[in-house]
Structure 1
């Protein structure tokens, strides 16, 4: 096994590899799902963090985006998702043709080691705000048009806040959702060169995101290796995932 040193760690190369893996995932997903459904599933998965990803995917499959669009109102969307997830029994306000037989067991949801703010009920409550805003234009067009309106901007923090301007989710979580899900999805979906160039510019120039356990571990092991932007930040995360327990 090759011994890892500071000189052998190329975070820019690893960042590119991270992006290609993300784009490959989106390409594969678009082969089996309609565009709005594909992005919806990925966003829902992102709400589950590491422990409830599979559960949020199941919830997205039994409550597809096509059904979400018909519900329209935030309160109804939230109630539908909470009911299907097994969290509530209240059926009042749900449509007559709503399939009440499609339901998860509440016991499948994992709470151990999760902060109360990230409990699945809270995540459902928060994402219902975004979903209700997209029922007219569709989820993909909602984000695509916002990205287009920011093309040419050099204030990337401000641009991200504009693109992700909806309530229910905090800024750091919005950043994670945008760069882990929405950005690679749009890089695969959009054929617009200006969109592609702007997203690439964001990837290469946006500042590093908040430190998570992987980044903290990387900095402790390799303090000399600088994490200067989002690209190198994602490169460091990929490095830690593929080299657990390694240090110089």
Structure 2
């Protein structure tokens, strides 16, 4: 056995990421069968090492996170058992089991299986070390397209095609999620997840699952706020901090607390921990405490159903001209950008002001992201299941017409890799669809270093030397 002093956590993470172990008849330390469907995405932010993994555990499908350590005791040494951010971990992967605990305990009391890979590696560990060292020495981390002369029309076509793939990929993911929930809940969960950005998306999704749409539909704006804040664990009464309130704070908080105490959810609490929510290093306008009033307004204004607040508008895109498409996009975004009123007009959190009075609870840029990333894929699945070619065409025309969204880390990274001063990205007329293509390129090729299969190179997008 290799000296553990030579093994670092990054090495074990690499083994998991590249699946460098024999996966036949995998068993956890407590004897449960493990089958890896998707190892997940390597997470460079706070929280578990891999996110969005999919596993079969004793034949049952689990989706969640994976945490990696050298030893099984690392879980407790790092105090993950006290951290609610690790409650979505479905598998603890270790190199060596040095602990008598056969199953890893989460903060919420649940236990998850542990997988030891010591005797499952697909090559001698010395060879794996040598491979890693050679890779580190020879790798320049440089994209093979970087610095090459591009065939702009081909590159544009590749991003269009990949953008189309991403739309259908999203619909495929939703198709698996629709089992056990209806389209109303699916859209509600999607909007909630998008409101959380990267740091709070999982917490908002959990909140949507703890408080299904069916439990709050038809309630008033403030009732929905009270229930969501209460179940989220974010009401002032749920905090142990002493705070000085002004009169407006007191009146509003007392009203919300009173509503909360009268709800079924308060009588049968399944509340989240306040520690599950991120506020640090966030713009006050994006705090979870402003997103909750936003979704409360959206839901309370839906007279019929959440889907029907959007479907008739989307369907009109099937035969719309360019000017009408722009009008439809604007009206869809208006339904997702409620104006603040009352208490939240000048608050970012309970008792905390906001720099820009009257700032939207959801900005236009975030609303556009929700439409492209959540609403359109869900509507495409709806069209498929209702066998509506007209609605399918409408979704496609809206998707094709959507202007460029706000940049994110991945789109900026792809732009830096592919384009240059001599051939800037503007030459391909950036759009939301092409940005989605960039996301697909990164997630399915670049992040896995599948350079030999690069669609830009394979698609004839560069002029070879």
Fold conserved between structures, TM > 0.5 = yes
Aligned partner (choices 387, 407, 410) of residue 214 of structure 1: 410
Aligned partner (choices 129, 137, 153) of residue 304 of structure 2: 137
Residues 91-124 of structure 1 deviation map (CA, whole Å, 9 limit, x = unaligned): 3134845221121111111223322221111111
Aligned 8 A contact 2:189 2:209 in 1: yes
| Greater helix content | 1
Partner of 1:170: 363
Partner of 1:99: 265
Task: Give the gaps of 5 or more residues in structure 1.
Answer: none
| Greater strand content | 2
**Alpha-carbon shift at residue 240 of structure 1 (Å):** 2.9
**Alpha-carbon shift at residue 80 of structure 1 (Å):** 1.3
CA distance in 2, matches of 1:30, 1:245: 28
Partner of 2:436: 234
CA distance in 2, matches of 1:209, 1:30: 27
Aligned 8 A contact 1:127 1:169 in 2: no
Aligned 8 A contact 1:74 1:128 in 2: yes
Aligned partner (choices 203, 207, 210) of residue 55 of structure 1: 203
Aligned 8 A contact 2:185 2:213 in 1: yes
**Alpha-carbon shift at residue 178 of structure 1 (Å):** 0.4
Distance change (3 Å), C-alpha of 1:95 and 1:186: farther
Task: Give the gaps of 5 or more residues in structure 2.
Answer: 1-138, 238-255, 339-360, 452-461
CA distance in 2, matches of 1:43, 1:33: 15
Greater Cα radius of gyration, structure 1 or 2: 2
**Alpha-carbon shift at residue 244 of structure 1 (Å):** 4.2
Partner of 2:296: 128
Question: Does structure 1 residue 117 correspond to structure 2 residue 313?
Answer: no
Partner of 1:87: 234
Of structures 1 and 2, the one with the larger relative CO (CA 8 A, separation 6+) is 1
Alignment: residue pair count: 246
Partner of 1:201: 397
Residues 148-196 of structure 1 deviation map (CA, whole Å, 9 limit, x = unaligned): 3454332333211112323132111110000100000000112322221
Distance change (3 Å), C-alpha of 1:16 and 1:172: same
Q: Given the two structures, how large is their TM-score scaled by the length of structure 2?
A: 0.49
**Alpha-carbon shift at residue 87 of structure 1 (Å):** 0.9
Distance change (3 Å), C-alpha of 1:241 and 1:117: farther
Distance change (3 Å), C-alpha of 1:143 and 1:25: same
CA distance in 2, matches of 1:233, 1:91: 43
**Alpha-carbon shift at residue 19 of structure 1 (Å):** 1.0
Distance change (3 Å), C-alpha of 1:96 and 1:112: closer
Partner of 2:107: none
Please report the RMSD computed on the Cα atoms of aligned residues, expressed in angstroms: 2.6
CA distance in 2, matches of 1:44, 1:227: 31
